[in-house]
Each structure stands twice: as structure tokens, then as C-alpha cells.
Chain A
Amino acid sequence: MLICFLVTSSLSFLLLLLKSRPLKILSSRRTCFRVSLVLDRHRSPVPVRPLRLSVKEKMSPASGADNAEESKGGVSPLLDLPELALECILEKLPPDGLLSMSGVCTALRDRCRSDYFWDKHMKQKWDRVVGPSASKVWQLGLASRRDNGDSNQGKQKGLLRLFSLVWPCSWAGERINIGQDRTCSLPHDSSVMSWYIALETGRFWFPAQVYNRENGHAGFMLSCYDAELSYDFQTDTFRARYPPHGRRAMALETGVTWERLRSPPVDTSPHDLHLSDCLKDLCPGDHVEIQWRRNKEFPYGWWYGVVGHLESCDRNENYCRCLSSDAVVLEFNQYSAGSRWSRTTIDRRNHREEGNEVDGFYGGIRKLRTDDEISAWKRIWPTGLLE
């Protein structure tokens, strides 16, 4: 009986492969309607046979043939629809609706898992905070899980192994501990759906940057630090894990809201110096971010500042020569005027890393070019001046 099952399920898989997802719009070709009618008939989706075969597959927990028959009846009007219409319906579903529908039968499962739908959901929800660096980490993780997964597969018995080859069994070989440690249960397949779920359930810790870390700690005001984030869907906030700060252990912060996050704008690791490419263009009034760290053991954070006028300049627009001088003044107006943090000067021509153990080290500088970036900093401006 198992062999029969195997054969029928492989057949259905193959049939579905042959009729793989055609995303064509209903033809607006200028053919006479009779021809397009014929085309329509052939384009009618989902071979009925896999649906009948898949009735056996729907072994719900309470099982029984009646149950399977009922479900087939409920869903077949959907599957009889033309491909475009079905796609139109599925793309209007929210992610959990999509996931639910994918559990109904094989035909729907294969459609609902398609990257086409999940790309949209990823973009809508995660695009702002999940950037190329997170994507890289995900791909690397996939590759290593795939390599390690082989050893797990060896443990599976013969027939089970065969099943996992026939179906894209993405979570094969992993035990999922619900509510327990979430780090060890991530999939092998590279579908966008897996990525979305890994993000949504908080299983995947992705690299991003957090503004005003540690709940508005005064020592970090108007800064942005790299961290690993994990989403908590129950509160719609994030847990942030900051890398060790010198001798200080890894810090964990909870309740980080969406506005305090961004994906890293440059591909520089927090321990590396960013190579500044905007030094020549910096003139008074420009908004910038500069790397700063207390000492060489600590990671850099990005700090917001504004380019100011030289002391010698009388701030007259027509006579300002600050752009042509070698020195660039950076003002950090969140600090009071007398504070040692409120101003610093860097060398336009040779700036790399400058500073000392007392005042910290100023590293690479980035000019903020978009209004979005500038307003993101302005939004988190502290209410009072800092010392």
C-alpha cells in the first residue's frame, strides 16, 4: 500500500512539474474569439487527476476517507478557476491566509509556496529593515544547513529518504521545538516563504542597526549601532543583541520598535573603518554620520552630526570659504555648547581615523543625501540637551 502511495504521489508531483505555474495574463492577442476559446479550454488549470490522487495524501490527524472527500468538495471550485483568477485570489491573501491555503491540498500548496506571492509580502513588511547584509547571512546559513543536513538525512530510513527526494521537503530532518530554543530549527530551502517565516517567528537573527540603543541610554543618544535582531510577533517589536563592548558582555534589549531600526546603509562591518568618499564635497549645512568608538576594542557606532562653519568664517553665505579649506568642522548639536562632544574637526584631505583614548576615535564619515535619512535622525532627537 505504501508502494502504491509512493507511485501515485510521484506521479502527481511529476504532473504538477509539467504544468508548472504559467503566469500569463489572459491573452489579449487579436485572435478571433473561437481560437481564444480553444486556448482557454487548454489553459484550464490544474489537471484534475492530481487532485483526485491527492485525496489520499490529505491524512488529517483524524484521518478517514469521509474527511478527505469533504475537503476535496470544498476546494474544487477554486481549482477549476483559470490560472490568472486563482493567482489573483491568492495574491490578495495575507501571509497566514496563504500559508493556511497551502495546507489544503498539493495543488494549492505548490501555488501558495511560490516566490511570486511571498516576494510581495517580504517587500511590504520587511524591506526597510532587512537589507542585502541580512540576505547574505541567510544564504550562508542555508548553505551550511544544507551541508549539515546531509548527515541528518543519512539517519532517515529508506522510504522516508525517498519521500524527501520526491517532495521539496524543506524542513526535513529538523525537530522543531515550539516555544523552546529557536535557534536550531531553520529550513534548507531557498524559497522566499521560508525566509519570511524564519523572520516572522523570530528564528532568524538578522543584522541591522538600532537607533538610540538601550532604550534611549544617554550615552548613546543620536547614534546607530549594529546589532542582531529577532522579531517577536506577539508584541510586534524586536529583540536586539549587541556585540560585546570591550569587556562588557553581549547586551540584549527587548521592545525595540520598527522606527528605531534600519538596514545597514553601507557594507562596512562595525569593526572596520569606513572609507569616506564624500570629504571633498562637505560644506556647511550638510548632514552627516560619522563612525565613533571609545577605544580600539569597541565596535564603531554611527553618530549624527552637521557640518558647521570654521571659527574664522563669518557665516555670510556669499563669503563663506569653508568648502575650500582643509579642515571640516562637525557639530553635534544634541550636546550643549560647552560639552566636549559638541564639536570636532577633521582633515578633509587625509581623514581616516583620528582621536585618542579620552575623547574616543572618529572614523569614516558618510554624507546623508536623502530626506528620509535626515528625518529619521530628527525624529529621535532628545528632548533636552546632553552634556
Chain B
Amino acid sequence: MASSRKITLRSSDGESFEVEEAVAVESQTIKHMIEDDCADNAIPLPNVTSKILAKVIEYCKKHVDASKAEDRVNDEDLKAWDAAFIKVDQVDQATLFDLILAANYLNIKSLLDLTCQTVADMIKGNLFPVRNEWLNFTFSIANRELVLVCLTEWVAHRRLFCS
């Protein structure tokens, strides 16, 4: 039985957030702190700004609520919600990376998976702004074998001492 105890989290810029314990323990880091009794007062999170912490709390709240509901339909709804949640941040890459750092620090596996998958999708879709002429060249080649061979040569740095 989850207690309805409230936990206070304080962001790096001094803002306090009060959340239910069930939501707070989505983060393994916070969970361990609570178990170790480090959490009598507010838990300071100097690595996380208020903007990011607000988003993280929003994510955790949604997932805790979803796990309480009985019917399975919520799985697809949850996925759709996740997609909408993260889509906003595809535009703002800095926030996306801050979310990754926060998810890593707070040890929230599902959020880390979600954010990393988003970055991976961006790389796959060539949306990631990696300006490397070699990459641009290879993405434009239609012949996949040629790509594989060329990339392997590049990886072995043959180009370096062949020029």
C-alpha cells in the first residue's frame, strides 16, 4: 500500500516541488534516499533545474497514474502520450539533452529509454545535426554495400594516410 506521504524536491534554482511519494520513487535515486532516511526535509537536486524537474515530475505522475488503471488499453494511450511529451523537445535539443541528464542522474529507466530512443531516431532520420562531410556523402549513396564498405574503410582510418 503506497502511503500518501508528500515529498518535497528542490531544484538547483531553489524552486520546491511537492509530490506524492509514489511519484517520487519512480526515481531510483530518490527512492534510495528516502529509504536511507536522507529525505526528512526537502531533497535538494542541484543537478536539475526547475524547468526540467517540472517535466520529469509530469512524466512520472502520468506513468504512476497509468499503472493504477486496470484496463490494457492504457498501454497504447501511454505510448501516444509519451510521443507527444517528447516531441516538443525534439525541436528544443537542449531540453532533450537536459532530460537525458536528469533521467540518468535520477535513475528513471523508462524516461532514459524514451529520451535515448528519440535521439537514436533523430540520428536514424538524419535529423541530428552532425555536420560531417563524410556522413553527408555516405547518406547520399544509394548502393548500400558501397556505404558499408566505405564506412568500414573510414572507420579504419585508411583515408588518413592514403591522401
Enumerate chain A interface residues (CB-CB to B < 8 A).
26, 28-30, 32-33, 36-37, 40, 57-62, 67, 70-71, 73-75, 77-78, 80-82, 84-85, 88-90, 92-94, 96-97, 99-104, 109, 113, 159-160, 163, 167-172, 176, 178-179, 187, 194, 197, 200-202, 233-234
Q: In the docked arrangement, what's the CA distance between A65 and B124, Å? A: 26
Contact of B130 among A74, A96, A172, A187 (CB under 8 A): A74
Enumerate chain B interface residues (CB-CB to A < 8 A).
28-29, 32-33, 35-36, 38, 43-47, 93, 97, 100-101, 103-105, 107, 112-113, 115-117, 119-120, 123-124, 128-135, 137-139, 144-149, 151-161, 163
Q: In the docked arrangement, what's the CA distance between A200 and B154, Å? A: 17
Contact of A89 among B120, B145, B155 (CB under 8 A): B120
On whether the beta carbons of A62 and B160 are closer than 8 Å, the reply is no
* Contact A88 to B130, CB < 8 A, known contacts A28-B28, A82-B101: no
A67 CB contacts on chain B under 8 angstroms: 131, 133
Q: In the complex, what's the smallest C-beta–C-beta distance from B144 to chain A, in angstroms? A: 6
* Contact A30 to B35, CB < 8 A, known contacts A61-B137, A169-B157: yes
On whether the beta carbons of B155 and A99 are closer than 8 Å, the reply is yes
Chain B residue, CB-CB nearest to A157 = B161
Q: In the docked arrangement, what's the CA distance between A89 and B124, Å? A: 11
The 8 closest A-B pairs by CB, nearest first: A92-B120, A60-B133, A88-B116, A70-B131, A71-B132, A74-B130, A89-B116, A103-B154
Q: In the complex, what's the smallest C-beta–C-beta distance from A120 to chain B, in angstroms? A: 13
On whether the beta carbons of A58 and B132 are closer than 8 Å, the reply is yes
On whether the beta carbons of B131 and A101 are closer than 8 Å, the reply is no
Q: In the docked arrangement, what's the CA distance between A201 and B146, Å? A: 9
B151 CB contacts on chain A under 8 angstroms: 96, 99-100, 102-103
Contact of A75 among B130, B133, B155 (CB under 8 A): B130
A233 CB contacts on chain B under 8 angstroms: 144-145
A104 CB contacts on chain B under 8 angstroms: 130, 132, 135
On whether the beta carbons of A84 and B104 are closer than 8 Å, the reply is yes
Query: What are 23 pairs between A and B in contact, CB < 8 Å?
Result: A26-B107, A28-B107, A33-B38, A37-B46, A59-B160, A71-B132, A77-B97, A84-B112, A90-B120, A93-B124, A94-B124, A99-B155, A100-B123, A100-B138, A103-B151, A103-B154, A104-B135, A163-B161, A169-B158, A170-B152, A171-B153, A176-B149, A197-B152
On whether the beta carbons of B29 and A33 are closer than 8 Å, the reply is yes
A59 CB contacts on chain B under 8 angstroms: 159-160, 163
A29 CB contacts on chain B under 8 angstroms: 32
Chain B residue, CB-CB nearest to A194 = B152
Q: In the docked arrangement, what's the CA distance between A73 and B116, Å? A: 20
Contact of A32 among B36, B116, B130, B156 (CB under 8 A): B36
Main SS at interface, chain B: helix
A73 CB contacts on chain B under 8 angstroms: 131
Q: In the complex, what's the smallest C-beta–C-beta distance from A69 to chain B, in angstroms? A: 9
With a 10 A CB-CB cut-off, give which of A88, A96, A194 has the most chain B CB atoms: A88
A40 CB contacts on chain B under 8 angstroms: 47, 105
* Contact A61 to B133, CB < 8 A, known contacts A92-B120, A167-B157: yes
On whether the beta carbons of B160 and A201 are closer than 8 Å, the reply is no
On whether the beta carbons of A88 and B29 are closer than 8 Å, the reply is no
On whether the beta carbons of B157 and A71 are closer than 8 Å, the reply is no
On whether the beta carbons of A30 and B36 are closer than 8 Å, the reply is yes
On whether the beta carbons of A170 and B133 are closer than 8 Å, the reply is no
B119 CB contacts on chain A under 8 angstroms: 78, 89
B157 CB contacts on chain A under 8 angstroms: 57, 163, 167, 169
On whether the beta carbons of B133 and A172 are closer than 8 Å, the reply is no
B137 CB contacts on chain A under 8 angstroms: 61
B139 CB contacts on chain A under 8 angstroms: 100
On whether the beta carbons of A37 and B47 are closer than 8 Å, the reply is yes
Q: In the docked arrangement, what's the CA distance between A97 and B138, Å? A: 11
Q: In the complex, what's the smallest C-beta–C-beta distance from B154 to chain A, in angstroms? A: 4
B104 CB contacts on chain A under 8 angstroms: 26, 81-82, 84-85
Given contacts A81-B101, A169-B157, 15 further A-B contacts (CB under 8 A): A29-B32, A30-B36, A33-B38, A70-B131, A74-B129, A81-B97, A81-B100, A81-B104, A85-B101, A96-B144, A101-B123, A103-B134, A167-B156, A178-B146, A187-B152
Q: In the complex, what's the smallest C-beta–C-beta distance from A189 to chain B, in angstroms? A: 9
Q: In the docked arrangement, what's the CA distance between A104 and B132, Å? A: 7
Q: In the complex, what's the smallest C-beta–C-beta distance from B67 to chain A, in angstroms? A: 21
Q: In the docked arrangement, what's the CA distance between A92 and B113, Å? A: 9
On whether the beta carbons of A93 and B120 are closer than 8 Å, the reply is yes
Q: In the docked arrangement, what's the CA distance between A371 and B15, Å? A: 61
On whether the beta carbons of B156 and A93 are closer than 8 Å, the reply is no
Q: In the docked arrangement, what's the CA distance between A73 and B157, Å? A: 21
